[in-house]
Structure 1
């Protein structure tokens, strides 16, 4: 079938699919693979019954027989955020608004936007750029001027990520000399290497200032001589709100009262989930403080924060931490390599576990079945012990005995040959007893590892890197 696919007004592609899938999920996966799309999206088609106006595609029979025009519409993700501010003298709240939608994000924008410097610096840069454009003269920068520029850049970068990567420093340094070519370094091919190294030192000094000012997120990573110094863990690259400060006007005792109200709400027969979500958002700084600084066991966290161990709030907490939709990002990433993984599994016929899993596949297998087989096959493919992560048990088995020694994993509960439940295990305890299926269980397990600040078991090092 010949398809005309509209990605954007300036990006319209022609795709030919010989064997059209029978269900919409498979069709979405085919389109995503062929066009290299990421994230969650909706396909709309031109419906001849309504004068070729666009309608959402919900059934393959709705498509015209030979040729069709489709439009890809990216889904808008809901963002979760807290009311907390950094509360330091060095970083104003306005700098946080430079991030997209007023929210911090671990990813610096590409290309990085160089904001205006102080008036006197901007005046000198304007004159310097004019001279460079006229005859290539480079600006003679004073020590104070260079410090002012670096201070402003460090503050702008911190608004996105307190711990920028090497690539982030490269991008910012390049953006600086592209906007102000008079700042290029003499004798350098690209003209920005020294700016990069100076910015790295300035960023470290800037974090030190924030530690002195009382910023929690950088204080937790300070090198101290205390007994717990080696246990402190830096935020993952994708975490936006690793350790936020308490909201303005609220102390720890105020948030503790809200936490107690949350516990009471969760004991009710009819839970007000809307109010629960609001209280979970407002108590987020207290919860992160407990989890990061006290490092409680999962059972203790569940006792104090029962709402956190619901599917809805696991997704919400992941979004609060990363500003990313958990299931959408997990499944889109998995689907991107689904076909390739199945091809690799098929080629490894010598591995008994993979051969057994692949025998469950047929031409009518759904995307969800393929996801399950890929995830269950990963330990076999990586030559790790599958029982450390996945266990199949009977409904009559003692779960406490089965979970013993299982730090993280998924239980598949059967009644005879029939699948009746899927459960998530953390620290030898069933945390989520009833999950839809294995792919959803793994997604929620990843969300819990982030929410509870748990490192993936070292003995599963290869599987950890893959997931």
Structure 2
């Protein structure tokens, strides 16, 4: 049997198998082996009952017994945000940042010859305090390797972050301390700052989206807004997957819109399509700055509770509900103490704390802390806290 398999707009392959397997999972295994794919996948087939439009395959009996045209969507993004991994995979996704700035910063290893020179320099420093004076080539290689490691976490590191890297460099290799300097890393800090500027200029010329979006402002030209990542945004404007363009995403975006409108949408398919289209969505939001109504019209799934949390994870590599609850738990004891101090003059707070006495579960303590805030701050509860119905 001959299968016509669509992996992407520019990647369509023929797969010949002896016969159809008995289950969808077995078909997935066969396709993974023939096409060298990894990870979870969604298989779609042309349903003759719906004018040959692609539908998700849930039962192998739904497939016709002749030549088949299948479409594969790799589910390379899941809502298991405990360990976000957006590195490149078989689905053609480009790598994007998945971790925050480390504390402390880990200095990368250098080439063998430089590591050998630094090792001997560190031994000499421990022996008699002598310093190693790197040649221009050695210093350039060190700055280039450290600068690229910094760029992997942030294209625009703060002065404090650059300073921390300079400190980490001389702590790991004390022979690189500057003679006559009290800190020993002051000049390294400025050298790393210049290196980051050079790297940004190099990547900007190469067409890196998060850098080209930062338009320069010069005399006599129209003033343009400078767009840079916020403090926590680590995937401000990621690259498109290799071989993909905004036009090539349109079919998937329409599929996503149609899926959201269904009475029982496929959450796994929506997760996958939203993850794959993240670069397109960020380009539209950052560069075009559309109204919220326009974003909701084009990306309705983005306004569900599930996808708000998922988009937050894609953008800042953190679990939104987990981050919120952990922050709330840190302040729980103090909040409840403040409520107890005011319960005598506030009947609402008193009733909240009374209900809490009989139920000491963590979830109840969290609820009491949140519900008591408007009364403690003397605000209208109807405007202070909004309750939304669960959607997708």
Q: Report the TM range for the smaller structure's normalisation.
A: 0.5 to 0.7
Aligned to 2:146: 153
Contact 2:335 2:369 in 1 (8 A): no
CA, structure 1 residues 348+375, in 2 after alignment: closer, same or farther (shift >3 Å)?
closer
Deviation at 1:288, TM superposition (A): 0.5
Aligned to 1:184: 177
CA, structure 1 residues 76+212, in 2 after alignment: closer, same or farther (shift >3 Å)?
closer
User: What CA deviation, in whole Å up to 9, does each residue of 1:105-141 have, x standing for no partner?
Assistant: 2222x33222222344333323322322232111122
Structure with max Cα Rg:
2
How far apart, in 1, do the equivalents of 2:353 and 2:123 lie? 68
User: What CA deviation, in whole Å up to 9, does each residue of 1:161-217 have, x standing for no partner?
Assistant: 222233322332122112211101112333122212221222122212211111111
Which aligned runs of 4 or more in structure 1 are off by greater than 6 angstroms? none
How far apart, in 1, do the equivalents of 2:292 and 2:125 lie? 60
Structure 2, unpaired ranges of 5+: 1-79, 357-363
* Count of residue pairs brought into register by the alignment: 300
TM-score by length of 1: 0.58
RMSD: 3.1
* Partner residue of 1:253 out of 244, 247, 251: 247
CA, structure 1 residues 255+341, in 2 after alignment: closer, same or farther (shift >3 Å)?
same
How far apart, in 1, do the equivalents of 2:375 and 2:251 lie? 46
Aligned to 1:51: none
CA, structure 1 residues 76+295, in 2 after alignment: closer, same or farther (shift >3 Å)?
closer
Structure 1, unpaired ranges of 5+: 1-74, 88-92, 97-101, 393-408, 412-421, 424-433, 437-467
Contact 2:339 2:349 in 1 (8 A): yes
Residues 38-187 of structure 1 aligned to structure 2 (within 5 Å): 77-79=82-84, 81=86, 83=88, 104-108=98-102, 110-187=103-180
Aligned to 1:292: 286
Contact 1:357 1:377 in 2 (8 A): yes
Contact 2:121 2:131 in 1 (8 A): yes
Q: Which has the higher helix share?
A: 2
Aligned to 2:330: 336
How far apart, in 1, do the equivalents of 2:354 and 2:159 lie? 45
Q: Which has the higher strand share?
A: 1
Deviation at 1:159, TM superposition (A): 0.6
How far apart, in 2, do the equivalents of 1:118 and 1:368 lie? 52
How far apart, in 2, do the equivalents of 1:183 and 1:123 lie? 14
TM-score by length of 2: 0.68
Contact 2:336 2:369 in 1 (8 A): no
Q: Match of 1:245, SS? A: coil
User: What CA deviation, in whole Å up to 9, does each residue of 1:417-457 have, x standing for no partner?
Assistant: xxxxx24xxxxxxxxxx259xxxxxxxxxxxxxxxxxxxxx
User: What CA deviation, in whole Å up to 9, does each residue of 1:266-325 have, x standing for no partner?
Assistant: 122221111111111111100110111111111111110011111111111111112211
Aligned to 1:219: 212
Residues 22-37 of structure 1 aligned to structure 2 (within 5 Å): none
How far apart, in 2, do the equivalents of 1:338 and 1:161 lie? 33
CA, structure 1 residues 368+138, in 2 after alignment: closer, same or farther (shift >3 Å)?
closer
Q: Match of 1:296, SS? A: coil
Contact 1:81 1:281 in 2 (8 A): no
CA, structure 1 residues 83+357, in 2 after alignment: closer, same or farther (shift >3 Å)?
farther
* Partner residue of 1:278 out of 258, 272, 279: 272
CA, structure 1 residues 267+259, in 2 after alignment: closer, same or farther (shift >3 Å)?
same
How far apart, in 1, do the equivalents of 2:341 and 2:215 lie? 49
How far apart, in 2, do the equivalents of 1:254 and 1:82 lie? 21
* Partner residue of 2:352 out of 345, 349, 361: 361
Deviation at 1:349, TM superposition (A): 8.5
Q: Match of 1:341, SS? A: helix
CA, structure 1 residues 224+374, in 2 after alignment: closer, same or farther (shift >3 Å)?
farther
Contact 2:166 2:188 in 1 (8 A): yes
Q: Match of 1:168, SS? A: helix
Q: Match of 1:364, SS? A: helix
Aligned to 1:229: 224
How far apart, in 2, do the equivalents of 1:377 and 1:237 lie? 32
Q: Match of 1:362, SS? A: helix
User: What CA deviation, in whole Å up to 9, does each residue of 1:24-75 have, x standing for no partner?
Assistant: xxxxxxxxxxxxxxxxxxxxxxxxxxxxxxxxxxxxxxxxxxxxxxxxxxx9
How far apart, in 2, do the equivalents of 1:305 and 1:410 lie? 26
* Partner residue of 1:193 out of 155, 162, 186: 186
CA, structure 1 residues 106+228, in 2 after alignment: closer, same or farther (shift >3 Å)?
farther
How far apart, in 1, do the equivalents of 2:227 and 2:385 lie? 26
CA, structure 1 residues 176+313, in 2 after alignment: closer, same or farther (shift >3 Å)?
same
How far apart, in 1, do the equivalents of 2:385 and 2:355 lie? 26
